[in-house]
Structure 1
Amino acid sequence: MIVYCNYVSTSFAYAIIFEMPELPRRRRILDYPEDDLLLLSAIEAAELIRREEITSESLIQAYILRITHINRFLNAVVIQNFDDAIEEGRQVDSYIQHIDKDSDEYKSLPHKKPFLGVPFTLKDSMSVEGLVCTVGIPSRRNTVAEEDAEVVQRMRHAGAIVLAVTNVPEAIMWCESANTIYGRTNNPYNIRRTCGGSSGGEGALIAGAGSVIGLGSDVGGSIRIPAAFNGVFGLKPTSGIVSLKGSFPVVEGEDYTSLMWCIGPLCRYAKDLKPMLQVLAGDKAESLLHLHNPVNFRNIRIFYMEEINSLFVEPLHEDVRRALRKAVSYFEKKYDITSYRLDLPLVHDALSYWYSSISDSTAPPFTQYDVNCYLEVVKWIFGKSDHTLPAIISGLMCYLPHGAFDQQILESHRDQLRREIIDLLGSDGILLFPSWATVAPYHNQLILTSGNLAYTGLWNALTLPAIQIPMGVNSNGLPLAVQIISAPNMDRLLIAAASDLEEGFGGWTPTRSL
């Protein structure tokens, strides 16, 4: 079992260690996105394109201008597809201009091509034909994808247009997005803070209104952590619903780790979650998820748990606790229902469950990219390594011995907890839970506080769907969040909860220059 050393006991110590190095940098917050096109949801934009009230080209150009403006502060976009996107947008506009508006083909567009003409972005771990896909690894800096990942194909078939690729940690195995190829990505609400990872570039770009919808992947919180730190929506769907084909790292076979990996949407508006999941899930959206079934929250049972008590996890910050309680209170008051507070003993070993699960002997290690991690440690000490320290450490973790007896006990407890939660939630229950112990930390602070991964990694270890929902900002202007979990295939409850809380608390909060 890996031991996460918690050397820091107070927020004052954090300020000294991590805030002081950032003081020379201005506490910059991105300016408000003034162009109204940037404030449309993806579904709204597609409808306006179909009705010829806006053009796809103008929408794409607006996002290109926004990216050009904000990326010098964020460093979120690492691969541009601007020229091809503009050309595809023009083709969409010509198609709409000439199609018979009374035809069945036109009338079927909202169903068959719900994102026609709308740009989307994705993290640098999914293949896009003709574009470089590095996964943040130096040896892949010139690796050009020969075909689209299946999720990219599905988005294209739905009419969406690839606009850009966003930054990730090296080998997408860390919760801060930085690598030696493209550097580090910043948080749009305060560039001194981290945007999270591994879908950190995606979360930062969407929050900064440089994209409206995007694709992330998640094995321990890689969608939900950036969504929480950047104040957007992020959904980890039910395991096995969305294809991993063409994404990295390559997960082969049906080991437990392959069940933990998920691809899902990040977006600014809750109304885009359902159509995105429908596109990504394909036929499974109805056969397994039944996304069209209505959700009546008066019949939904609400459970919540406030904190993980562990030596390796920070105490829950009061801002996070208040956000969780506000969400619980909102449902209680709006629907005149009673929520149930839980303290499940097995939950407090969340970090052990995640690590024992991700350390499956058939899991894809960092070393699949032909990196000698022992040699890289020595080179890093002397400043000669091309790799980041977190990536090297994650690679070394693959070599750590695991006691078979301890592993069996952890897996037994993990599976017992999974059964308990599924039985508890059933088809009409949701569990509210913190997304992280604090708001977005300072850069590099995660080196000492990565144990907070327990809040998101637990649900990967239990292979349960989970969503991160923005809950406004705190007194320092940093995003607040709440995480909600359901039983498998009950993703529609999570999407309904996201829409409800967006109505109650405003959802995404646009950045404003101070």
Structure 2
Amino acid sequence: MSVSQSVSQSPLYYQSATELVAALQNGSLTSTELTRAMLARIREQNPQINAVITLDEDQAMARAGEADAALARGEAIGPLHGLPLTLKDTWEVAGMTCTAGAPALKDHRPKRHADVVKRLEDAGAIVIGKTNVPIYATDLQSYNKLFGVTRNPYNPDHTPGGSSGGAAAALASGMTPLEVGSDLAGSIRIPAHFCGVFGHKPSRTLVSFRGHVPGPPGTESQPDLAEGGPMARTAGDLALLLSVIAGPGEREQTSWKLAMAPATFDSLEQARVGLWLSDLLCPIDQELTDGYRQLARTLESHGALVSEARHNLLNLTHILPPYFNLLGSLLSTSLNSAQRRQMKWIARLEKWLHLFGPVTAHIGEYGRGANQPVYEWMPWNETREKMRKQITELFEEFDVLLTPITPTAAIPHDHSKPVFKRTITVADKPRAYMDQFCWIALATLLGLPATSVPIGRTKNGLPYNIQVIGAPGMDLTTIRFAELLEKQGLAGFEPPE
């Protein structure tokens, strides 16, 4: 693809955060002007999209005025000074409701910032509102009883994804320059893919999760598999935001400091690119496959070393059982006894589930994980750690691994119950709804950095992304690869028409 309009030629609400921050710092734009413009954009766009569900206009304008005054006084400023933005409604902002889409939390107004929010505010950012999520951030579509359905800016009949669907839709429709998502089962990468923006799931524990709901408000521990990460309309903005939010949590600041490894290349010609674009257990639409293969050929023409990746872990038969087991174990904490019994029956009947409709491979392991005691969890955890060690062999050969994100572009809204009976259509055939978890599993399971990069549109006008996976801790490498794709016109955000 080629990017039809450079960001610098875009309207104010579509300019990059990097450009906006530079304008704020050199005085050609005030925070008051920018905040007023963003609030106006939200009022214009949000009735159709329903991405922003909480807004504090008076506080936002007051904070913007304070930011302008501080700059005029010559005070030291942070890298996001005066920049207004929204946040996914799972991050606790002191004084602002944080519901995680759950009616039980409709009045939850935290008194303390999440670690991520404190880092944003210390950098000078102004949180102006919150964006929609599915209830307790547990679906690939963003809808709930409190705030309703969030729609995809490219086609309102389709979902923007979840659980960071409101965040992705707000970015794509120009209602915020940056967002911070969270990703347990693709919840950054999938909405970015469905809405044609950039998203990055960081390496394990790079971003503090304290102050994220779920878990329950007040949780201090870091959950297994889940990461917080940046979302933006440019790859450079991912790097900017990651530099702000990454690092030790409040209680760990005396124990360790962040020292991220630099990117392993400076040009596409230096990049070693591995491809894993198909697996019999989870087929993808031919249109996406064609787009990914065309990107691979174009990368070769730009001098990159591109080849099919070969490794025993690049096989969903090996990846899905531990992923679903550990995912089930984590999410079982939110299940009641009746729901856990239901999961146990799904595990017991796994061999026969296909008689009732499409079934995602190895989904029975989710049910077993939801019911297992800790002494059964520990061998699965050790298996995961051995696999994490093994995958480093792959990245001795390649700098990045390219894979699909989900089998399709954005799916139509489907809020039917139960969730496991939902289906999606892949290559004109019904497939299980949970197939959308398959391609994100490798990076989640092994704690690898993974960047979701917009590279094209389907014939129906829906955007689609490719997943760029790196070795543990090599976050700046996957983001740098995204930046180089964008620079060469091979990737980039294109606004909805």
Q: TM-score range by the shorter chain?
A: 0.7 to 0.9
Q: Partners in 2 of 1:372 and 1:268 — Cα distance?
A: 42
Counterpart of 1:146 (choices 111, 123, 126) is: 111
Structure 1 match to 2:303: 335
Structure 2 match to 1:419: 389
User: Do the aligned partners of residues 286 and 406 (structure 1) sit closer, same or farther apart at CA in structure 2, a change above 3 Å counting?
Assistant: closer
User: Do the aligned partners of residues 427 and 442 (structure 1) sit closer, same or farther apart at CA in structure 2, a change above 3 Å counting?
Assistant: same
Structure 1 match to 2:477: 493
Q: Which runs of 5+ in 2 are unaligned?
A: 1-8, 343-365, 424-432
Q: Partners in 2 of 1:308 and 1:204 — Cα distance?
A: 30
Q: Partners in 2 of 1:453 and 1:114 — Cα distance?
A: 35
Structure 2 match to 1:476: 460
Q: Would the aligned equivalents of 1:239 and 1:259 in 2 still touch at CA under 8 Å?
A: no
Identity %: 30
**Which one-letter code corresponds to 1:456 in the other structure?**
I
**Which one-letter code corresponds to 2:334 in the other structure?**
F
Counterpart of 1:207 (choices 164, 169, 172) is: 172
User: Do the aligned partners of residues 404 and 42 (structure 1) sit closer, same or farther apart at CA in structure 2, a change above 3 Å counting?
Assistant: closer
1:222-241 Cα deviation digits (max 9, x unpaired): 10010000000000011111
> Shift of residue 282 of structure 1?
3.6
Structure 1 match to 2:162: 197
Does 1:258 pair with 2:223? Answer: yes
Once the two structures are superposed, the pairs formed by residues 126-137 of structure 1 within 5 Å of their partners are 126-137=91-102
> Shift of residue 178 of structure 1?
1.0
Counterpart of 1:359 (choices 328, 331, 335) is: 328
Report the more deviating stretch, 470-479 or 257-266: 257-266
The structure whose RCO (Cα within 8 Å, separation 6+) is larger is: 1
Once the two structures are superposed, the pairs formed by residues 106-505 of structure 1 within 5 Å of their partners are 109=77, 113-250=78-215, 258-282=223-247, 287-291=258-262, 295-310=266-281, 313=282, 315-342=283-310, 344=312, 347-349=315-317, 350-360=319-329, 365-367=333-335, 400-402=370-372, 414-426=384-396, 429-444=399-414, 447-448=422-423, 449-503=433-487, 504-505=489-490
Q: Partners in 1 of 2:150 and 2:42 — Cα distance?
A: 13
Q: Partners in 1 of 2:42 and 2:182 — Cα distance?
A: 22
Counterpart of 2:21 (choices 42, 46, 52) is: 46
Q: Partners in 2 of 1:287 and 1:407 — Cα distance?
A: 30
Q: Partners in 2 of 1:498 and 1:158 — Cα distance?
A: 24
1:230-268 Cα deviation digits (max 9, x unpaired): 0000000111111111112238687xx824110000100
Q: Would the aligned equivalents of 1:132 and 1:142 in 2 still touch at CA under 8 Å?
A: yes
Q: Would the aligned equivalents of 1:306 and 1:434 in 2 still touch at CA under 8 Å?
A: yes
**Which one-letter code corresponds to 2:126 in the other structure?**
I
**Which one-letter code corresponds to 2:315 in the other structure?**
V
RMSD, aligned α-carbons: 3.1
Q: Partners in 2 of 1:68 and 1:253 — Cα distance?
A: 36
Q: Partners in 2 of 1:179 and 1:354 — Cα distance?
A: 26
**Which one-letter code corresponds to 2:134 in the other structure?**
P
User: Do the aligned partners of residues 292 and 46 (structure 1) sit closer, same or farther apart at CA in structure 2, a change above 3 Å counting?
Assistant: farther
> Shift of residue 352 of structure 1?
2.5
Q: Partners in 2 of 1:81 and 1:308 — Cα distance?
A: 46
Q: Would the aligned equivalents of 1:189 and 1:511 in 2 still touch at CA under 8 Å?
A: yes
> Shift of residue 35 of structure 1?
7.3
**Which one-letter code corresponds to 2:261 in the other structure?**
H
Structure 2 match to 1:510: 495
Q: Partners in 1 of 2:151 and 2:170 — Cα distance?
A: 10
**Which one-letter code corresponds to 2:91 in the other structure?**
M
Q: Partners in 2 of 1:415 and 1:174 — Cα distance?
A: 27
**Which one-letter code corresponds to 1:452 in the other structure?**
Q
Once the two structures are superposed, the pairs formed by residues 59-138 of structure 1 within 5 Å of their partners are 59-99=34-74, 109=77, 113-138=78-103
1:40-97 Cα deviation digits (max 9, x unpaired): 1111111111111111111111111111111111111111022211111111122223
Q: Partners in 2 of 1:317 and 1:135 — Cα distance?
A: 32
Q: Would the aligned equivalents of 1:177 and 1:201 in 2 still touch at CA under 8 Å?
A: yes
| TM-score computed with the length of structure 1 as normaliser | 0.79
- Number of aligned pairs? 444
Q: Would the aligned equivalents of 1:239 and 1:262 in 2 still touch at CA under 8 Å?
A: yes
> Shift of residue 422 of structure 1?
1.6
Q: Which runs of 5+ in 1 are unaligned?
A: 1-33, 100-104, 378-395
Q: Partners in 2 of 1:409 and 1:308 — Cα distance?
A: 26
